[in-house]
Structure 1
């Protein structure tokens, strides 16, 4: 029975309403009567009705004031207003406060009253259903659901049966007649997460899950689960019976997923879709086939012999020696050679990730040898490893790695300069490092340091065992070699970029230091990349 409270200051009006219907026959009961709003609120504190039928014009507290209070204190209670012709403005305010409708007293009839009572009941039932669903959703943990789905991919015992039971209990994948799964891999996962601790890695994975779930839609119909090592499962349910329609839907969802990962997290991913199945219990088998296809795609070109016998593996000690000697030119040449071997592999295939990971580890190891007291993370101006997730080509990856190693060498040199030279020479070396690309000179440097140029020249030769100009040219030529290795600039552009005003002079200085012409050096680089 739905309980109804009558609120009207006229006893006759209340009697008319009570006698108008066989209340219990229609599923209602009059639970009380009040003759003003204040009294009604007191009664509602003791027992809250489902519906209140109230007059607009009453003493002490009228219907407008009562509706305002009920909206705040009893928002679930439905209000039906009774009014006269001259108080419609009041009725309109009550409607704004949540009243479902109003009846004119002089036209009050049983059918009209019953219609509004039924309308109130429909609203109550709809709200109750929504509340029940909301409670169910709150009880349904996306974390638990995702773990059940992930267990399908991990092939853990009775994972399919457990998920089927959980889905039935929580009314998941309702009305679905077809299912499909996809295996998704964040391709640079190893490179991006190997330096993270467990908390940071979990945060990284959760961000990826949230973005993917946002892209594909309702977790109760399309669910993302994390399998491990950057791999995810997407369980997709559909009410469509047509295989073509389901395939179209899933392709669109996966396209949105990959786009969102790239847009919001700068992550590249690859995926493969498993075959259609008509039962939730078969999704695990669908994933196995998707996973096999993805493994072939992701690990395409995985060359174990390359990993064992690569230039990097065989000559790792040589690279370490170049680093310890702070020989930027040879380090750069070595990196170019490594990437020349890797170019037949997918840019983020496992072979590439493993070798690049070892190269990054070598950088950290070198820094610790030179600076055991300073954390690697504290080095200034090192390229951000998060940038690895945005790279789409070997050229980008190679340039980044060249910059990474060059930045390490510069950081070590800076630390050495600041620690092993006099204060004036340390400042001069830093000035050269910062301004070599400009038309600087000994006089300009001395002026910047507030020194006499003759004094600086003598001091420089004593400490560096070379003249200011010789040192400046070596810095410029070393930098020009790095720019040549990037393959981005022409020789004339490079000569200008590193601070030479004349290409002829650049040619002469380059040959004097490297014992080969710039073009010959470029040709040697091209030959090594073939």
Structure 2
């Protein structure tokens, strides 16, 4: 338990604080304040069960402090201290429901012990229905449910502080599929735990407790007032406005006692693995959550390995269709996870390792724009199938090779930075943390050409593409291919391609 002592005389404040062994009477935290305003700030921060306050204090009187405390909590036990025996003070103190009115000059250790014993008995005896107690009880209950998975939980131990009828919301921040984020090393930004809980209290005034129960979701216990669906939609919108990311709200229980809410929660915990099968930013009721079932079709990953090894990607894609779509139809989270992990790992085996030196293209698994919509099963699957098909086409190309890590990283750096007019072999070598001479030697030995010749060829291939489209001005093409000077760009183009850029455009332009 916690006690707050408020007294503007520092000597008296210390005297009262050292008068007894507070822990002996169950008070583990003793808060001290030298004026009413500080006392109020400490009350808001710590919510002490017992407050002993001087009536005459600067910045806020004891009576004003008591009035604020009563607005916040009807359960806090109040005692007032004063040097005056005036009836007006006694009357004001009694109107605030204080348990006592004490004269400072009569205050001694015996009286303090009496106050603490009376307050301790009263605190233990009272049924505490305040938000703070309900929140603590529900938080502890959720943690127990997570630890024991619902087994051997005695609901009655928590229901004393939660005696009403409730709605239970599952509030989930929409997020990309954890399996691919794990394999590809993608970091997701999570909303602040306390900020989400705080917004639940603001958006749904009857919220009793809002507790984070997992990495991406919160449980929100709300006193039933009707209109749960409207409240859920409003909460979803306000979360989006506050955090800039989408949230989904599942109404797990309506007008249920605590035990009913817990049972509903335990029965629907499988929604954790089914999030990938839902659309984002939705409001659903418990009965809308489809039940999953196991797909009977055997998951033969060795067959998939063989098709990748033998470059039979058409068969592999048909197999992907069959297995992924069945997993989605059955809402089989376990199968979908196994398939996603398998193909993510296989794709990563080729990530930044396949190079087409003719075009300067290197196979990469995912760029930031690829990952933006990895929230739903269908989107993730179609992206993954597209990448598998892309891999198949690349492996069929005879000009694609697997080079050393140094060459691969050099090609990747060039492909991402060839538009930089200041690009140089020295810069590339510095990025790779090796010497320019060593980089040139390795690159020429493996590819048969110098690194700078490769840079020029990548730029010229891009210039040809832009000239073929016929949309850009020559100055723009020059800039987009890493050249500052049109004359120099034209000179390099003619030396490489055997004609000027304008001649090439006239012969090849699509427009």
With normalisation by structure 1, the TM-score equals 0.45
TM-score after normalising by structure 2: 0.46
Q: Which has the higher helix share?
A: 1
Q: Which structure has the larger Rg over C-alpha atoms?
A: 1
